[in-house]
Every structure is written in structure tokens, then in C-alpha cells.
Amino acid sequence: MDEVFKAIKNRRSVREYEETHLAKGDIDLLLDAAVWAPTAMNTQQVHFVVVQTESARKKLSKKVQDLVKKHNPEHKLRELDDPIFYNAPLLIILCAKKDSKWADIDCALAAQNMMLAAYSIDIASCFIGFACLLDEDEETRRELGISDEYKIVAPLVFGKARGEYPALKLRNPPDIFKWL
Ligand SMILES: Cc1cc2nc3c(=O)[nH]c(=O)nc-3n(C[C@H](O)[C@H](O)[C@H](O)COP(=O)(O)O)c2cc1C
């Protein structure tokens, strides 16, 4: 199977990570994969917050947990030390300008590029949609350097997978409305 297709099919969302930090070169490679994604009219308006320190990540995790509880007191998060970011050593938050029509799509494409590139160099990843809730917290936004015109679109964690790589999750066949 072609390498790209292999990565597309075999990448999994990983929820158990080694503590080991990723090399700066690998982080640069992930960011490089992001900027090579297509963007509408090549506007390249995808912005990044990189969180590597454990204390910063744990603080963000706690904040997300509080926000999840606030929105849905019934929601049961997994009983883990860090049920949001799974103690992954690297969190990269992709942000977009609020008033840009295509920005969400640009960020999503960049995010998938990053996760596939990560897979190709044996780095596991997971999209953490829950962390978009951080957008609601002014203080956190300020700490992350996200000004009022921007919003969080794609928080991603990366690291070396701990234990077994998750099994393939089967997909439904394509749901084709019409083939004309
Ligand atoms: C927009 C989006 C939000 C997601 N949010 C979370 C999340 O907050 N926490 C989590 O553990 N996984 C999250 N995921 C991962 C999905 O659960 C996962 O992609 C899906 O179950 C398919 O599994 P796979 O990625 O291993 O193929 C998210 C994925 C997407 C695309």
C-alpha cells in the first residue's frame, strides 16, 4: 500500500502517552506539515499555540474539566490523572481568525496533515475537541496569546504512544447520496 494511504488508514487516536518530550526537530516537522496544507486562496491563516510544559498543560486540562462540568454536569470524563490531554507531552492548538469564512476548514486540513505526518515518524496523536471550550475563558486565552479576533479550532496532542497502538476502528462504507 502506498505510504500516504497506509498512514491514512492506520493512524489512530491515541489516549496513552509516554512522558518523554518530543525533539524540537520533530515539532518543527509537525508545524511544517501544517503549513503545507491547502488554505483557501492560499491565505495561510492558521495560527499555533505550542504547549510543552507539564504545568501549563495540567492547568489547561483542569480548566477544560471545569468547563465540561459547567456545560454538562452529567458528563462523566474518564477517571484519569489527565482525562483531557492524556498526559501527552505536546499540545498544539490551531487557531483561526473569527471573521474568516474558510478558516475552520483551513485549520482542519492543517490538523489532519499534522496527524498524518506524525504517524509517518512514529508519533501518536489525538484531536481534542473538548479543549475548544478554552475559547470561553478570557484569562486562558490571554495566557495562550489568543487575542479577541481569533478562536480555537483544532487542539491536538502528540507524543510517543504508551503500550499497544489502538486497534483499527472499522468505518462504514461511503454514504453516497447520488452518483450521477
Ligand atoms: C473534531 C474532533 C473532535 C474530537 N475530540 C476528541 C476529544 O475531545 N477527546 C478524545 O479523546 N478524542 C477526540 N476525538 C477523536 C475521535 O474520538 C476519533 O477520531 C474517532 O473516535 C475515530 O477514531 P480514530 O481517530 O482512532 O480513527 C475527536 C476527533 C475529532 C475529529
pLDDT band at 28 (very low <50, low <70, confident <90, very high): very high
50 is written with which cell numbers?
A: 505550542
Give the pLDDT score at 69: 95
Total of domains in the chain: 1
3-state SS class at 89: coil
> Does residue 177 lie in a domain region?
no
Ligand 1 centre to CA of 11 (Å) is 12
Query: What is the pLDDT averaged over residues 47-57?
Result: 98
Maximal CA-CA distance, the chain: 55
SS3 13: strand
Mutate to test the pocket of ligand 1, among 85, 127, 169, 172 (most ligand atoms within 8 A of CB): 127
* Residue 13 located in a structural domain: yes
**Ligand 1 near 171 CB (within 6 A):** no
Q: Could you give the 3-state DSSP secondary structure of residue 9?
A: helix
Q: How confident is the model at residue 1 (pLDDT cuts 50, 70, 90)?
A: confident
What's the confidence (pLDDT) of residue 112?
Answer: 98
Q: Which three cell numbers stand for residue 93?
A: 492548538
Q: Which domain holds residue 133?
A: 3-159
Residue nearest to atom 30 of ligand 1 (CA): 127
| Closest atom of ligand 1 relative to the 12 alpha carbon | 26
Residue 74 lies inside a defined structural domain of this protein: yes
- Section 37-64 average pLDDT: 97
Tell me the CA distances in angstroms from 175 to 11, 12, 171, 178, 179, one per residue in order: 22, 22, 11, 9, 11
For 69-125, write each residue's pLDDT tens digit: 999 999 999 999 999 999 999 999 999 999 999 999 999 999 999 999 999 999 999
Residue 19 has pLDDT above 80, yes or no: yes
83 found inside a domain: yes
How far does the centroid of ligand 1 lie from the alpha carbon of residue 23, in Å?
25
Question: How do residues 137-162 score in pLDDT, each as one tens digit?
Answer: 999 999 999 999 999 999 999 999 99
Per-residue CA distances from 125 to 115, 151, 180 (Å): 6, 21, 37
Q: Is the pLDDT of residue 9 over 90?
A: yes
Residue 176 belongs to a domain: no
**128 Cβ closer than 6 Å to some ligand 1 atom:** yes
Report whether residue 15 contacts ligand 1, using a CB cutoff of 6 Å. Answer: yes
- Specify the CATH number for the domain of residue 134: 3.40.109.10
